[in-house]
């Protein structure tokens, strides 16, 4: 079932989300609906607060571009994207590499705005799974950026918060219009 995507200005997008404590049929159905909604919206990721749910839960699928990472390790072993996509995770933690990279980002909750965001190039993500296992993913490229973007959502941070001073000025009026359009 397609879910409505919450838009910029909704207070849930600024909340620190609650950890997932119970994995049940209702949560699994929510995940299925989030995946369907993400695909329908042509997104590469979707976090629970983006559909109005206060939980540390997100989905990512970057399998449309298998060349979007230069390396991928899962639990210490080399892996291929298709082995882990779509990626569903709860209660994540991130460690960042030292090098930074700048690339364009957009967001399903901030329609019509894309801007350059500087983020760490490499991440090590600890991602608890619905089956009780944990994936430790080390990667770069689009998957690294998507993990950082979606995990930011779980902490009430939006990509526009990470823009340079010039970038923030350039989107300020467009963001005001988005709030005014509600």
Which residues belong to the annotated binding site for Fe cation? 107, 149, 153
Catalytic residue among 26, 29, 138, 150: 150
Ramachandran region, residue 118 (left: φ > 0; alpha: ψ -120 to 50; beta: rest): beta
Spatial distance between the Cα atoms of 59 and 65, rounded to a whole number of angstroms: 16
Cis peptide before 121 (omega within 30 of 0): no
Q: How far is it, in rounded angstroms, from Cα 88 to Cα 109?
A: 19
Note if 116 is an active site residue: no
What are the phi and psi torsion angles at 179 (to 5°)?
Answer: -70, -40
Closest Cα to residue 53, out of 10, 94, 96?
10
Q: Which residues are catalytic?
A: 150
């Amino acid at each position: 079932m397609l879910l409505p995507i919450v838009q910029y200005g909704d207070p849930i997008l600024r909340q620190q989300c609650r950890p997932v404590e119970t994995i049940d049929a209702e949560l699994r159905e929510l995940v299925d609906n989030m995946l369907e909604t993400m695909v329908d919206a042509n997104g590469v990721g979707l976090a629970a607060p983006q559909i109005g749910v206060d939980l540390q839960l997100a989905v990512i699928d970057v399998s449309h571009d298998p060349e979007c990472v230069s390396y991928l390790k899962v639990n210490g072993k080399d892996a291929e994207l298709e082995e882990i996509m779509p990626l569903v995770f709860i209660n994540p933690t991130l460690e960042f590499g030292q090098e930074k990279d700048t690339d364009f980002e957009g967001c399903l909750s901030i329609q019509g705005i894309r801007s350059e965001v500087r983020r760490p190039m490499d991440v090590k993500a600890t991602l608890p799974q619905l089956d009780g296992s944990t994936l430790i993913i080390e990667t770069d490229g689009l998957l690294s950026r998507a993990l950082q973007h979606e995990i930011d959502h779980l902490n009430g941070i939006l990509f526009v918060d990470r823009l340079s001073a010039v970038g923030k000025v350039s989107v300020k009026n467009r963001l005001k219009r988005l709030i005014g359009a509600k």
